[in-house]
Amino acid sequence: MATKDEVLKAYEFAIELEKESLKSYLDLAKKTHDLTGKNMFIWLAREEYEHMRILEAIRDKVLKDQPIGKIEIEEDELEQLLPDIKKLEKKKSTAAETHQIDALQAALEHEAQSRDYYKEQAEKTEDPELKQLFTRLSEMEQAHYDLILAQLDFIKGTGFWFGIPEFDVEGPA
């Protein structure tokens, strides 16, 4: 069983991870000229803020030796919040698009790091409520990763949409 100090250290690390992602996404939103990309980064920043808020509340309970209680994180409504990337017209590669690709690749790294950390914490803890929390956070970070990857695939024109090959039955445009 982990000590209180070890648990608090894990929460502090997770909170810092969320803060770092939040700041990065806001910075990327400022630098991105494409409206869909900008909206996606703003949405991701809000998601990271919500994760940070939840983790801070739980950390505060641990500090006060209060029971954590049932932890619920609402289901993501990712499909409703996703920018309608599919309907955007494909454009030729530009310097702005190249910047967006670099930004998206950095965002992928953030999400993978967060996902892996939460997955590791879920595997370490014996507390079923904390296991549920960390598992849910890991799943949410994976959903963010998938969203970013879809945007990246679209911009690069890989022919994939959420990992599924796209086929154009009408031939080339």
Q: How far apart are CA 79 and CA 136, in angstroms?
A: 17
**Tens of pLDDT, residues 2-19:** 788 888 888 899 999 999
Give the pLDDT of residue 31. Answer: 85
- Average pLDDT on 118-139 reads 87
**Tens of pLDDT, residues 20-57:** 999 999 998 898 887 878 888 898 899 899 889 989 99
Residues 6+ apart with CB under 8 A from 102: none
CATH number at residue 118: 1.20.1260.10
Residue pair 149/101 in contact by the 8 Å Cβ criterion: no
- Average pLDDT on 115-125 reads 92
Domain membership flag for residue 83: no
Give the pLDDT of residue 37. Answer: 80
* Domains contained in the chain, number: 1
What are φ and ψ of residue 6, in 5° steps? -65, -40
pLDDT at residue 84 is higher than 60 = no
Domain membership flag for residue 85: no
Question: Where in the sequence is the domain holding 118, given as residue range(s)?
Answer: 4-72+91-160
Domain membership flag for residue 28: yes
Q: How many CA atoms lie within 13 A of 16 on its CB side?
A: 6
CA angle 138, 135, 150 (to 5 degrees): 30
Q: Which one is predicted more confidently, 130 or 158?
A: 130
Domain membership flag for residue 98: yes
Residue pair 46/76 in contact by the 8 Å Cβ criterion: no
Domain membership flag for residue 49: yes
Domain membership flag for residue 119: yes
Provide the β-strand partners of residue 161: 164
Domain membership flag for residue 123: yes
User: 153 pLDDT band (50/70/90 cuts)?
Assistant: confident
Domain membership flag for residue 77: no
